[in-house]
Structure formats: structure tokens, C-alpha cells
Structure 1
Amino acid sequence: MSPTPSSSSLLPRRAASLFNGQLQQPTTVRQLVRTMEALSVRASCQCALDRFFVDAGLYALPVVDEHAHPVALLDRKSFVEFFGRPYIRELFGRRSIVDLLAYEQYDSTAPLVVDEGSTVEDAARMIIDAGMQHMVTGFVVSRQGRYVGIANGHDLLDTITQRKQAELYYLAHYDALTGIPNRALLADRLEQACLEADRKGSLVALLFIDVDRFKQINDSLGHSAGDEVLRRIVARLKASARQVDTVARLAGDEFVVLMEDLSNPGQAELVADRIVASMQEPIEMLGHSLVATVSIGSAIYPRDDDQIHNLLTKADAAMYEAKSAGRNGFCSYTPEMHTYNPASMSLESELRKAIERDELVLFFQPQVDLASGKVRGVEALVRWRHPQRGLIPPMQFIPVAEESGLIVQLGEWVVRQALAQLRAWQAQGLEPLPVAVNISALQLRQKGFVGFLMAQLAECVIDPGLLELELTETVLMKDVEEVLRTLNEIKALGIRLAIDDFGTGFSSLSYLRRFPIDRLKIDQSFVRDIDNTPVNESIARAIVALANSLSLEIVAEGIEKTAEVAVLRQMNCQEGQGYLFSRPIEAERFPAWLAAHGALQLAAA
């Protein structure tokens, strides 16, 4: 039940810069350098200690020889701890740093030195090969062998992750075939446009565009030719629209032009007429000359509706009116048009009944210790067993639940059922297993949520430590102080907290120090093919190192191959879940699966 993140219509600034200007170009460590005056090997240890005390944000101090070549990187933690021992300051305070480095009881290792022209991926690989100890202390950056500054391993991870996030953002918000915004990004831009229209007193128009008889083009020329036709149609849509308009693809041969900051509806009609006219020019394709006409319907905000979610439905209704009038034309929405959308409206209505009729069911996916193979816990996953449609996956009904507000009622049902199932398993003699439950943003912000959790734990007589709530990064980054207060109240109950899909949000890693998180779940996009995808391996290794440095547990999601397990185990990832171990299992089948799994582990031992 992962909540739909609220994103802006543009990429976040850091990710945007990576995506727009540098995504396809190597990013060098030069951007990560923190320039500071280095210490000479002849400087006193007391001088280094004073520098650490003066600058609380200094994570390491570089040391250079007389030729400015880096020779050491003093780690703040180990250096200060060493001088906290009795008599050490008296013995080494006035002595030089070179004497300390030679002292056998001081943990001194050669610094990791990276040329400023190296890419961040190369630097990450060096850190990985060096055993990850430089993730927190950082590394020295040099130019032609001479010291120029130091860089933090966390910043390196952040840069690599931001690049990956930019790629994920693009895949999630742009159409792969045409490169224009998809339904998700259109919805966000529409919301922003309507809010701006409310402030300015202006209008917003949606032009819903459907290619006439496109199926015939696909059937006669093939899908590859059909794809090329769609790309050429998009080029004409963009040429006909204003530069400030958004041209988006909904699905198949359906497109939308979003026009904002309009002073009158006639501006939308002009663009619609230009689009219809542009399609009259034949498209030359595989020796054929074809004309791909379009039918267009429009809806105006707030004239036709002041509810944003109704605009697309009304523009769609107007488009069908244009098709009914003979295609190859344009029609504006009028109140007489039929706007009933049986797909979404029926699903919402049926979902309300499904909760009441107990049509929902929980499946459980095991979380396995990667070293021993022992099952350490389960994640509760909701499914909808529809009497006519069969088993409906979450991706089909969770968005409807979020949009309608049913996600709160649905989420409470999942918590109740998960705890009740834990109690039932314990009554059957099963060893108590922690259960993880996804929590939506709306559910977390309910005023009585903490009280609800307390009541459910008391009713089921369950150890609070067996319940883990999974939250996404985007949930944590909105109304931070209020969320922090709620999470602290939840932790006070003894409930565990985890961050789901870690690494996919556009948030700073610094929040990990503030929130009372127990463990991170590496998103499956970083786990997939980790054995032969270097950037995924780099990110996963860095996340594991980060978790270890903060004493957080770590779970990898989406494991499907033994080769992925081998890589994750080598980087000291503790637990994993995925189809390799088991698909989600119905509650009544889980005890038998658990017994069979345990027998396999014994046989393997």
C-alpha cells in the first residue's frame, strides 16, 4: 500500500541538474571536493585535535608531506577517541603527526586518494574495493598527485543515487516511446495549473486527443510502423501547441494537451483547430502515404468543472462526441454529454463493498536471513479476491483507494488482520515472527492513528516489537516536525519502523539521523541484476555501509536470482525477500511453507 508521492511538475533541483545536463555525461569528484588547509606531517597532534574541536562538522583532516602529497586522512572519531585515553595527550600532544602515524597502537591506514578528474562511479568502485571504510571518513582528492581537498563518501553516494533517481523519475513520468510526459506527470502539472488559475483568475484547458482508426494502422503496417506514426503525430501536436503547453501521452493512441493561463476558451479552440489541420498532411511510411486524423474534445477549468479530477473525464466525453460526429474534428464539453466512467467509478464503489464483505485477503512474503537462510519475518501484502474478476493486484485498486480516501479504512483493516494472523499462528505453535505492514501518508496523519495501534496491540495481546510499519521516504519529508512527533509516539509503543523502497525518494540522507528508524529496505530497482549492473551494486553497497554506520538493519527487496544473493551477502546485507525465496503466500498455507523451508535448511546444513 505504498502511497502515491506528491511530486512537483519539475524534477527536484539536484536531480534536475543531473538529468538535464549531466545524466549522459560523467560526473567527476571535483564537484564533491571540500577544500581545506591540510596539516603538515610535522604539525603537532594537539594542532589536529584543536581543529576537530573548533569545527564540529569536520569529519576528517588531511595530512600532506613537504611536497603537498597526501599521506594520511585523520578520522575524527578514531583520532578524538584515541586522545581520550589517559595520558595520551601528554604523550603525543606536542609530538608530530608523523610520530603518531608510526605508533603501533594508533589505527593508521593509508588514505584513499582519488584524482579530481575521476568519475563518481570510479570513486565509488575504489571505495568498494577498499572495503567501504572510507564511506564515512571520506577520501583525499588530488591533482597530479598533489592535495586539493577531501570528499565525503556520503556525498558520493548521494550524487550516484540522485543520478539513479533522475533515471527512475524519467521512467516514471515520461513516455518511453515518445519522450513526452505520461499520465502521472500530466496529473501533477494539471493540479499545479489549476492552483495557479485560482490565484490569477485565469482558465485551464484540457484537449483530449484520440487518433482515429489507429488499430487499422497497426494491423496493416505492423506495430513498429504504428509506433513511428505515433512519434510523428506527437511532433505535430507539439508544433501545433504553444511552447508553454504540456503535450502528454495517456496510453496507446490517446494524448492530452494541457493549456494553462488562458484568458478565454477560444484560445483552446484555436490550438485544437491547428492540430486537426496539421494531421491532414499525409505521413509517408514504408512506401505508403497515409493520413492519421484525430478527434479532439476539450474541457475548461473552472468553467466546465472546478473539481480537477473531473476535467479529464469531461474532455474524454467531448472527444467521443467528436468521434460520433464523424471523427477528424473538435468538440467542446457541454453539460448534456454523458460522463460516466464505469471503470474507475465502479471500482471505487466495489472496493467500499469489498472491505465490508471481507473480500480482501492478506498474503505474506517471507523475509530471509541471507547468511543462514532462516526466515526472520514476513511482509503483509493485501489482495482483493473479487467474486467475478478473481484476484485483483494492489496496483489496480490501491490508487483508487488513495484517491477516494478509502486507503485509511483499508490500511486499518490490514493492520488488524496482520496482528490477528500473528496471534493465530502463535496459537498454532509457530515461533513468533515480526510482520511488516505498509502505511500510507494519509493513514499516518490521522489524529487517532497512534491510539488505533495501541488498541489493536492490546486486543490481540501481541508484543509491539513484532509489528513493523513501513513508510516511504516521501511520507517522511512532508510536514517533517509533525511526522517526527507521530513516529516518536509510535516508537514509544515499542513498534518498529522501516523505510520502504529506500533510495528512490528525492530526500536528503540527513533525515535518517532524525527519525527513529530501525531498518532500511533497499528498493528492488537497485537489487535487480545487481550481479552484472555496476551502478546498482555501487548504490546497494553504499546503502548497506550507510545502514551499518547508523546501526540500522538492512533488507533487500525483489531478489530473484542466487547470483543476486551472493553479491548482497558479500556486501554484508543481512536480509532479503523476493521470488527466489517465495512469492507472497496465503496465511493458511504459510505454516506448511515454513516447515518445508526449515526442512530444506536442515538438509542443506
Structure 2
Amino acid sequence: KSLARQWQEEYGPQALERCIQACHRRARQFLAESRQRSDCLDRIVHLYFLLYQTVLLSRHASSREEFLQGLARLLFQSPGVRAILVKLEDQTLAYPEEASSLAYRFPSRYLNDPEWTCQARILSPGELPEPFPLQSGPLGVAKWILLPLMLRGWVSGILLVGTSQKVFSDWERVLLLEDFPEQINTSLEIIQEKRLEEGPLFDPLTGLPLEGYFLVLTEQRLREARSRGQRLLMLAIGVDRMVHVNQAFGFRTGDELLRILAERLKNFADSSGEIARGRSETFYLLVPEPRDLSDYLERLKGALSGPVDLGRFLLEVTLSVGVARFPQDATSPGSLLRRARTALHEAKRLGGNRVAFFSEDLHRRARTFLTLLPRLRKALRHKEFVVFCQPRLDLREGRICGGEILVRWQDPERGLIPPGEFIWVLEESGLISELGLWVAEETCRILLDLPREMFVALNLSFNVSPRQLWGANFVPRFLDILRRYRLCPTRIKIEITESIFIEHTEEITEELRKIARAGVRVVLDDFGTGYSSLHYLSRLPVHDIKIDQSFVQGLPHSESHLEIVKAIIALARALGKRVVAEGVETVEQLRCLQRLGVDEVQGFLFAPPVPWERFRQWLDIFPEEWKTYLQASSREVEDQGNL
């Protein structure tokens, strides 16, 4: 108290109050710094714990995928972590699910961009590409920690950790940007070495290196090529229709075929390249890029294709080849191999027996496939698809005789998506059978909901692809749906495309016969645009032929289209088939088709594809003038024919 009085006498009455306030500020600052130091110490301890857990993961994980999934879950459970993204060329992981769109839309080109992959960094959302600046806020992310994933000196992917933490101490930066990524990359190398040690290096059937060992050999070749400025080619070589060989002659014959082709490949490549056995019927060849590439590829196909003597018979073999170039297309072993496989997939998709080169378009297609596939799986689980219907009209009776069921995807993010954007993904992934069975069930359900007078006068059709007829027991499951709904099979039509002739097998013919024997009518869609074969057409149980809209659009003014349509109608009449014309948009086209004798039409002249509820309403209010017009036109055509 005496000291306080002395302060007041010497410095004035407010000096003591200012002194006490200063002491309070220093005390609060000290406590805050202590808490910060304590929080920082907690985070550092947790980082050391993560390092330890990463070591344990690398010991127990049997694959890169298993390790990265475990690491992502471990990181996402850490304090302050709001999102985890793992971006590889062939894999994407995201936690939570709301962050998946960020992972899929993160440009893959950054994996080969030194600016992004040269070192680990802590970034603000604005330093990352769209849509990170917009979506980081809702996720609660203040900073993104970018960690390049390296394997033997090559960038194999990127790990992004989104955290709510805004400030990092020097010690934390060392752990996050140096020690932690080094441990992750060491773990990836340990897992690869473990797989090489535990698994066989060579294929026992062909004696060729297997894919894991081939990547090690490829890595050595790429290092040498880079130091010399040399260009290399990675070829993925696939045997066409190997599944059919195994089905028709057995797996022993298939194995013997692969052994003979491996010997041919060894003799062709000699010592100039690295050869390997890939998955199933695939071989890999890594060679210096030849001066005349087209000549080299022709010689390769000539050396491997052609008749193969399998003892009891000769088998004609064709090959598809996918080509990727180093360093233009990829600079790491794994990405070079994957891009060659992408090109091979394209060669097979186009019908086989051809060469396809990797391109950015193929890369975008592959990326779109990988992006859409998990979303489509989810859409199938959650029933996000809806059926539309476009009416078919009977020209002789002047009434609606049926409709074609078409599928749309009601995506929660993008809204209504047309089939052209997603059906190909379902086809290539094999999910098309699951969607096809759902469409069959929906078709049965909505038919039975119709009043009896409409039900007996109406039939509905939907598309079935050759891939559906091949597998997943589609036909028995489809027929079982008809039995469960106790639906008269004549109320259903299935539409198949002319690609059935290209991919035709006895098995597919038999499946179609089962459908036809059950009473379901079969329509040959898009007739005249593909590989039409009178031999197959006479054997397949086809009831209706649908003229493709590309020919209808040229009517009545295009002489060539007119003659083609006349020929199709004459052929259908000779074989006893009904004729349907699609894509009718004008009254002129309609009158021309009536004069030519077409049985049914569909097109935008009458109605576009609409949701089933609207189609159902349209059945009740089908314009009377259309009925009158069609019936009068039909009588007019008949009178002209009689004359």
C-alpha cells in the first residue's frame, strides 16, 4: 500500500491503474502463449504418432491401394483434418463423401507437372485450381497440405490434406513437409519390394516377366532413355475374342495359344526390347521408337497374327495393339503402361484387329469413365434413374400402338442426364445388365398400372445390348420378372442393334430364341447403319425391323435414301417382318412412309420422349385430328393401291 501511495504521489493517480492493466495484458498473453505451446506440442506428438502408424501400415498392407486407404482413414480421424484426397492416375480416394467431386475434378495433368510435384507444400484454397476455392469453405478447410507420392523417384500421385489449422510452427512444417512425406514414400517402396519378393517374377506358362517385375525393368530402361534423349514405345498387345476361344475349346487350348503367341513375340522382339505377360490375354513390349512406326506395327501384327496350329485344328488369330510413347504421353513406368492399356482398350472397343494410339481424348474418356463409374454404382443403389417413353403409332389403324422406353439419369448434382453421356460407361463396366433388369421391371410395373382397355392395345419396347445377352444370366432373370408380374409376354418388345451381327455367337442366338419362345417380340433397331447380314437375319428370331432415322430424315427428296428405305421394306416383307420407322419429324416424311407401306412410326412429329406420367396423360388426350388424319391417309393409300 505504501508503494501504491508512493506511485500515486510521484506519477499521478492514473499511473497505478495503467500499470495494473499492463500486468493483466502480459498475464493474458503469457497464458495464451502457454495454451498455444501446449496445443502445438499436442499436434507435434500426434504427428509422431502418425509417423509410427504409417510404419505399421506399411508392414501389414499387401498392396498400394490397401496402404493408401488405411492412411487416408488414419489422417481423416486426426484433429483439425476436414478432408483427405488421394489422386492417382488409376485411383481416387476422398474423405468425406462430400469431397469426392474435388478429387475427381482435380486435373490429372498436375501429376506430370513439376511445379506441383517437386516438393510438399502448404497451400491456401485460392492457390489450387477450381473448384477448390469454392468448396473448401463449406468443408471447413483453411489450408491444404500437398504431399507428392513418389515411387523410386517417379511421381505416382498426390495426397491432399485439408485442415482447419491456419498457422503452423517451424517444427510442424518440418514434420509435415519433410519427415511425413518421406515416410509415406518409403512405405510405398517397401510395399512394392514386398510384392516382388512374395510374388513370382515370371509367368510359368510363357516364361515372360510378370507385370510387377516388368515395371522394374521398364524403370531402368526409362532412366537410360532419359539420359540419352531416346524415345521409347510401350505396346499393349491383346488377343481378340480370347473369351470365345476359352468357351469353345477350353482353357487348356487357350493357354496353348498364349504360349505360342509368346514364342512368336520373343522371336519378333529379339533383344531389342523388354517383353512381359500382362493380365489375361495381354502382352507388353517396350522398345525404342522405330524410324518407320507404321511399318514396324504392320510387321508386329504380321508376326503374331494368322493361323495358329493347335494340333487338332488351325485357329485364325487377330490382335489389337495399344501404343503409348515416352516421353510424350507419360514419363513414369506405371503411367506409361496404363496409357498403353487405355489405347488397347480403345482398339478393342472399336472392334479389334487394329492399332490405337494414346491421346488426350482417350485420357479424358478414361478419366470420365473413372469419374462416372462410382457415381453410377451409387445411382443404381439409390434408384436415381427414371423412364421416359416415346409413342409408336400404327399407320393402318391410326392409333397409338405402343412406345419405346428410354432411360434418363436424375443426378442429384447435375439434374437430368441423357443416356448418351452414361450408357457407354455402364456398357464397358458390365453394369448395363443391372440397369437393363431394372428397366424390364419398371416396364412391367407401369404396364400393369394401365387400365385394361389401354393395356390390351399397347406394347412397350426397351433396348438390350449384346453385352447384356452375354452374361449375368440376363435372359433367365428377365423371364423370371415376366413370371413374377404375370405379364403377357406379347406386351413387351426388346430392341437389339445390328452390332449383334459383329459380336454374334451361337450363345447370343440361343438367348434370343429363349426370349422369342417365351412370347416376347424382338425388334432389330437402327437397321441399315451397321453390318447387315441376310444369313444372320434369316436365322435370328426377329419380328420387327426398325429403319434408322438417318434414312428417314432424307425423305422424300433424297433418291438414295428413298431407294434404301424401299429395299428395307421389300426385304422385311419377304421375310415376314413388320417395319417401324423412327425419327419422323415432318408431315412429308409421314406421307412418304405411308405410301411405301411402313407399319409403324415414331418421332418428334407426334411427341418427343417424355416422362412416363406425361406419356400416360397423353394416351388419354391423343389429338383426335391425328387419329382422323392417319385413318384417312391410310384409306387413301389403300385406294391408290387398289387402283
Q: Which has the larger radius of gyration?
A: 2
Query: Normalised by the size of structure 1, how large is the TM-score?
Result: 0.47
Judging by fraction of residues, say which structure has more helix. Answer: 2
TM-score when normalising by structure 2: 0.45
